[in-house]
Amino acid sequence: MTLIHLRVSDSATQKAIPVRIRISDIDGNSYAPLGRQENFPPIAHHAVGGQVILGEKKYYYIDGACEIDLQPGFYNFEVFKGERFHGFCKSVEIKQGQAALRIIIEKKSNSIWSDLISGDARCHGLSWAASVLEGAAEGLDIVHSLAREVKIPGSGISDSTDILDFSGQEVAYEKFGCTLFVNTLNHNFFLGAISIIHSHRPVFPLSSNLTDSSNLWSVIDWCRQGHRKNGLVTWVFDPANEFQGEALAALVLKEIDLVEISSLSLGENSQILFWYRLLDAGLKVNSVGASGKENNNVLLGHPKTWCKNSREIGALLHLTWLESVRKGDSFFSNGPFIDIQIENKGSSGKISLVAIDVLPSDHIELVINGEIIPVKRDENRDQIQTEIELDLTNYQWICARIISSENGKTLVRAHTNPRFNIVKSNNSMQNHRKFVAIKGLLPHFENTEAWLNSPKIKDQKRVPQILGAIAEAKAILASGN
């Protein structure tokens, strides 16, 4: 074997930079840098950080330099550093006696990504060092790690030691141009789960799952604590959970700011399609993208949430990102840039759409009140800028998205937040969609109400408060306000 000193540098600065790297031979066998595991588990909470498996491919995160043993021969090198850099995918010959290999990657010139801030709104279980290393390698400016209570399998014991890392509104760790904040995920299976970031202090309890607890906690209580000093509260919606009624009520009552999108699927149990249902029901709710990474099968920043960078002197990136996300001036993406602007002209309107870094196989679509309108494009161009004339007299919400097909499944690659019409519509078709959407939300309320009225729960002191919030939310949806 030949010991190779590998260095990956930025062409502009000649400095080593964090990247995600894969080295494989012609048979597809991968090789790990020294000190790294050849085999690592894709299991939640086990050895998370510093490596990732995508499909059958193993990748490693390095700070720009590593050592690796390789036999002389040809190897495929794959090097990535997020959207702002060109990837490096080439076959390289390692020669007998070779001691070093230098790889140069280039930043994209005149790139829109340089004027944007990227953040991952939720991950779990990574060390501080792994969070910023992976974050920097994936092109993230900000990473939010959330402390939570986790059941240790087979032990009956809960682990919540991540709370010791809590940083709230302060920076927990910063390196390689990536900043980590540590906040909390608060969870009750029957009521719902929320993430709270930029909180001035930890919000307890992290979990109130025990049905025989003498002190059932409320999602709305958690929300109000998180909001006391301008925290951002997001519903971590689980599409497989038929309860979550109080979290839905909290969203209707504006106690929750956003809905999280961590899965980009448009198939069964799609978070994105559930978000559309909320919009059809008349809720003006924005989304935030988050990887939810908790194992080595998920990329940090998949998807990322992007917003424009403030040019104000002294503006903090995190606060700019936080407020842009709160207002919906952001989009989530797994690669492309997308943006729409709407200009109303009386009975008609014009939609200006921009998409960048689009693949030939991608499809661009408008989503208007849940209806899909394809956007024509030249597949030979990776940038699209177009204006679309439409009758916008009856729209309630409009989004733009980029989709692709992978292994027979349709996935979203980028998605804007909605643009809302300030004028209410009396269109019969829209009223029907709204009726159907609200009807589809009711089981979440009803299932949670049934649980709250069960013998073990109904006498707990917060039950009337939660039932009252659900009743109020149902009345708001029914009234159309």
For residue 436, pLDDT over 90 is answered with yes
Q: According to the model, what pLDDT value does residue 91 have?
A: 97
Task: Give the bridge partners for 253, in sequence order.
Answer: none
Q: How confident is the model at residue 452 (pLDDT cuts 50, 70, 90)?
A: very high
Nearest CA-CA partner of 114 in 182, 54, 177, 36:
177
Nearest CA-CA partner of 70 in 5, 135, 9, 165:
5
Mean pLDDT over residues 137-153, rounded? Answer: 92
The helix (run of H) or strand (run of E) holding residue 467 is: helix 463-479
Structural domain boundaries of the chain?
2-105, 112-420
The helix (run of H) or strand (run of E) holding residue 249 is: helix 245-252
219-227 vs 463-479: helix crossing angle, rounded to 10 = 80
Q: According to the model, what pLDDT value does residue 307 have?
A: 97
Per-chain mean pLDDT for the chain: 92
d(CA 413, CA 355): 11
User: What are the pLDDT digits (tens) for 166-175?
Assistant: 999 999 999 9
Range name among 21-35, 113-127, 425-439 with the lowest pLDDT average: 425-439
d(CA 409, CA 131): 30
DSSP secondary structure of 119-150: EEEEE-S--HHHHHHHHHHTT-SEEEEEE--E
Q: According to the model, what pLDDT value does residue 468 have?
A: 97
Upper half-sphere CA count for residue 4 (Cβ side, 13 Å): 24
Q: According to the model, what pLDDT value does residue 394 have?
A: 78
Q: According to the model, what pLDDT value does residue 173 have?
A: 97
**Per the confidence metrics, is the pTM higher than 0.85?**
yes
The helix (run of H) or strand (run of E) holding residue 478 is: helix 463-479
Q: According to the model, what pLDDT value does residue 347 have?
A: 64
Task: Output the CATH code of domain 112-420.
Answer: 3.20.20.140
Q: How confident is the model at residue 263 (pLDDT cuts 50, 70, 90)?
A: very high
Selected from 3.40.50.300, 3.40.605.10, 2.60.40.4070, 2.60.40.1120, the CATH number assigned to the domain covering 2-105 reads: 2.60.40.1120
d(CA 90, CA 24): 11
d(CA 195, CA 257): 10
For residue 311, pLDDT over 70 is answered with no
User: What are the pLDDT digits (tens) for 230-249?
Assistant: 999 999 999 999 999 999 99
Q: According to the model, what pLDDT value does residue 429 have?
A: 79
Mean pLDDT over residues 269-283, rounded? Answer: 97
Positive or negative, the CA dihedral 22, 25, 31, 33 is: negative
Give the C-alpha distances (Å, rounded to integers) separating 466 from 250, 290, 396, 448. 10, 28, 30, 10
The β-bridge relationship of strands 19-24 and 173-175 is unpaired
Upper half-sphere CA count for residue 447 (Cβ side, 13 Å): 16
